[in-house]
């Protein structure tokens, strides 16, 4: 039987080095207690934040010190939990860390409202008195920009305290989908029992035996059907929380509130959807080519993940994948390339799936730690691309924290997905130019096409779904499981017009964890569009364009997202980068079609 190993069975070299954060759980406890005591220090400044320049600087520096420590405490607990989501000890540590983070946010909630009592001119005068306040210039600009949507100190404190509760539906969903749900075991064509998991589901849908794919598809979605009402209730309440929080902050819609945080106009969202809809013919062509490659009368939903090459693709062990990824980063310079190589040798990555491990992949870590990457590597080309993707996030964080103070060390998702997707595009270019095996090249082209399909088209579909779900809630329509299924089915039928739309695919919305971070997914689509434009510029203009891109990475959140991308030479206020990305997708599709003929 093909089974998932226990955590203890995974070789240490393929696990991340969390001991570099806290050597023991006892050290974590000591750090937790120390920072919990410091949180109370913030409250001594309440009512005095803008008393004078020295006080303003002191409170901002103290808040940053505390938030740095809280973020590290929380990250360690969360990553330990993600190693095995069934582990009650680390579930408890994570819950405590989340409460601590909420307490810290609550304790600091008076700061922004008090800063908003200043005018811009008054802050500039304070900078003249205390030059170190210049560090906070963009931060204060952002705080003042949000004044119409910031409530009184008392209300802000309540909203901060409620953040743990309003985000609880996502935590419930996470526990349900990763710890409690049990997917069936199916028998493959060789007679081997294969356990379906969240991590291997899409890989199993790439198996060449169509009956096996159908059995996997039906078994997986039938398990979701068994928790349908629970998930619908969780998502409904998540949407309600988004809507009510937006109204509490004087926004007309939840979408407006979500996009105003990073200062992205809602027109950017609408331009994405409109441009993608104008290019659905390319996606329909892709689907039709899959039908022809499979030689079937009608493309079914369990056929969508099958590559145009008609088989599962070559096995690709992790060590070989890391070599390809590092080599592909040469256009970004020797320093960037060598740092990635060193990181891979320093246990940045938790590589393989184990029992209870958080599904998917992410890049984590904090301002005071090395990067950490969670993966569930599956020995295939897709997993190699995921590694390149997450390393892009990690290097973005590394370059940012070297150049920026803590207050700008984070960055909005709108720009974060650019760094990850540039790495993917560089990897595609490198493999097509250096690997001689024509079959391997076909699989690389197929992977590129699947990445665009799943990132640009699929995430835009998701963006439409959550926009409509929030609109329905805002207009007072009940978000029942049936209504959510209906909404999703309609969108799936538009995007995959040549394929059969069945009852099970209407439940696909249930398996998307990103919906519990409202209006998050559209940024994958804008991100890949910007990334492909940047990559084209790097290959056209060379070192100067690469340096512009690296400068963009070093800026963190010191500017607003659209301004940051202009440093890298991209204007996301227009449809041009999206159109260019879709044109590239169409060209690559034609290229692979020609090779297959």
Cα distances (angstroms) measured from residue 31 to each of 24, 25, 77, 100, 124: 11, 10, 12, 12, 37
Considering the domain boundaries, does residue 459 fall inside one? no
Got the DSSP string for 95-153?
HHHHHHHHHHHHHTTTHHHHHTTS-HHHHHHHHHH-GGGGGGHHHHHHHHHTGGG---H
Q: Report pLDDT digits (tens) over 430-456.
A: 999 999 898 899 999 998 999 899 999
Got the DSSP string for 184-208?
PEEE-TTS-EEE--TTTHHHHTTSS
Considering the domain boundaries, does residue 121 fall inside one? yes
> How many H-runs (helices) and E-runs (strands) does the chain carry?
25, 5
Nearest residue to 444 (alpha-carbon basis) of 521, 361, 388, 526: 388
Which tokens is 470 given?
């929030």
Which parts of the chain register pLDDT below 70? 1-2, 311-312
The residues annotated as belonging to the active site are 390
pTM for this structure?
A: 0.85
Say what the pLDDT of residue 154 is. Answer: 82
- Phi and psi at 509, nearest 5°, equal -55, -25
- Cα separation, 477 vs 124, in Å, equals 48
CATH number of 123's domain: 1.20.140.70
Considering the domain boundaries, does residue 157 fall inside one? yes
- Strand, coil or helix: what is 39? helix
Considering the domain boundaries, does residue 304 fall inside one? no
As for how many domains the chain has, the answer is 1
DSSP state of 364: E
Considering the domain boundaries, does residue 129 fall inside one? yes
Say what the pLDDT of residue 312 is. Answer: 67
Domain region containing 66 = 7-166
- Phi and psi at 348, nearest 5°, equal -70, -25
Q: Report pLDDT digits (tens) over 132-156.
A: 999 999 999 999 999 999 888 788 8
Say what the pLDDT of residue 123 is. Answer: 97
Identify the burial level of 497 via C-beta atoms within 10 angstroms of its C-beta, where 0-12 means exposed, 13-18 middle and 19 or more buried: middle
Considering the domain boundaries, does residue 419 fall inside one? no
Provide the CA 331 distance to its chain's centre, in angstroms: 25
Considering the domain boundaries, does residue 511 fall inside one? no
Considering the domain boundaries, does residue 222 fall inside one? no
């Amino acid at each position: 039987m093909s089974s998932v190993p226990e955590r203890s069975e995974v070789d240490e070299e393929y696990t991340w080095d969390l001991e570099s954060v806290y050597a023991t759980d006892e050290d974590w406890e000591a750090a937790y207690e120390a920072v919990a005591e410091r949180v109370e220090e913030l409250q001594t400044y309440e009512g005095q934040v803008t008393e004078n320049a020295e006080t303003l600087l002191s409170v901002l520096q103290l808040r940053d010190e505390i938030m740095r420590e809280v973020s590290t405490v929380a990250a360690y607990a969360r990553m330990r939990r993600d190693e095995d989501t069934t582990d009650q000890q680390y579930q408890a540590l994570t819950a405590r860390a989340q409460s601590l983070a909420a307490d810290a946010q609550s304790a600091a909630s008076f700061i922004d409202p008090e800063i908003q009592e200043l005018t811009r001119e008054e802050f500039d005068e304070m900078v003249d008195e205390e030059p170190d306040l210049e560090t906070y210039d963009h931060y204060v600009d952002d705080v003042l920009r949000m004044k119409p949507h910031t409530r009184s100190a008392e209300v802000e404190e309540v909203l901060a305290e409620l953040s743990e509760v309003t985000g609880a539906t996502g935590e419930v969903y996470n526990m349900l989908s990763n710890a409690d749900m049990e997917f069936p075991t199916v028998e493959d064509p060789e007679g081997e029992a294969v356990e379906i998991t969240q991590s291997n589901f899409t890989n199993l849908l790439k198996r060449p035996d169509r009956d096996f794919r159908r059995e996997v598809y039906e078994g997986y979605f039938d398990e979701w059907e068994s928790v349908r009402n629970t998930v619908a209730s969780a998502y409904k309440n998540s949407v309600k929380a988004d809507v009510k929080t937006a109204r509490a902050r004087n926004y007309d819609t939840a979408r407006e509130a979500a996009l105003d945080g990073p200062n992205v106009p809602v027109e950017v969202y609408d331009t994405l959807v409109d441009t993608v809809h104008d290019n659905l013919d390319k996606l329909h062509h892709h689907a039709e080519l899959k039908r022809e490659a499979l030689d079937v009368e009608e493309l079914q939903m369990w056929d969508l993940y099958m590559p145009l090459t008609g088989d599962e693709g070559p096995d690709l062990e992790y060590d070989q994948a890391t070599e390809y990824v590092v080599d592909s980063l040469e256009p970004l310079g020797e320093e960037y390339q060598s740092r990635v190589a060193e990181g891979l040798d320093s246990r940045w990555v938790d590589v393989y799936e184990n029992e209870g491990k958080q599904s998917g992949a992410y890049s984590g870590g904090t301002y005071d730690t090395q990067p950490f990457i969670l993966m569930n590597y599956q020995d295939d080309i897709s997993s190699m691309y995921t590694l390149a993707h997450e390393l892009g996030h990690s290097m973005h964080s590394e370059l940012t924290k070297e150049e920026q103070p803590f207050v700008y060390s984070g960055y909005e998702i709108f720009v974060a997905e650019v760094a990850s997707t540039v790495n993917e595009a560089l990897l595609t270019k490198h493999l097509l130019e250096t690997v001689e095996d024509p079959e391997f090249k076909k699989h690389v082209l197929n992977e590129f096409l699947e990445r665009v399909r799943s990132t640009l088209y699929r995430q835009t579909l998701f963006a439409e779904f959550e926009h409509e779900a929030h609109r329905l809630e805002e207009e007072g329509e009940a978000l029942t499981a049936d209504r959510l299924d209906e909404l999703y089915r309609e969108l799936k039928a538009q995007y995959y017009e040549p394929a059969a739309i069945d009852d099970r695919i209407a439940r696909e919305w249930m398996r998307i964890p990103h919906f519990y971070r409202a209006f998050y997914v559209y940024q994958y689509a804008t991100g890949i569009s910007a990334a492909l434009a940047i990559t084209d510029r790097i290959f056209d203009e060379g070192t100067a364009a690469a340096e512009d891109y690296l400068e963009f990475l070093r800026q963190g959140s010191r500017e607003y997202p659209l301004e940051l991308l202009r440093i890298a030479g991209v204007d996301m206020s227009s449809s041009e980068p999206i159109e260019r990305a879709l044109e590239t997708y169409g060209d690559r599709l034609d290229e692979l079609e020609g090779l297959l003929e």
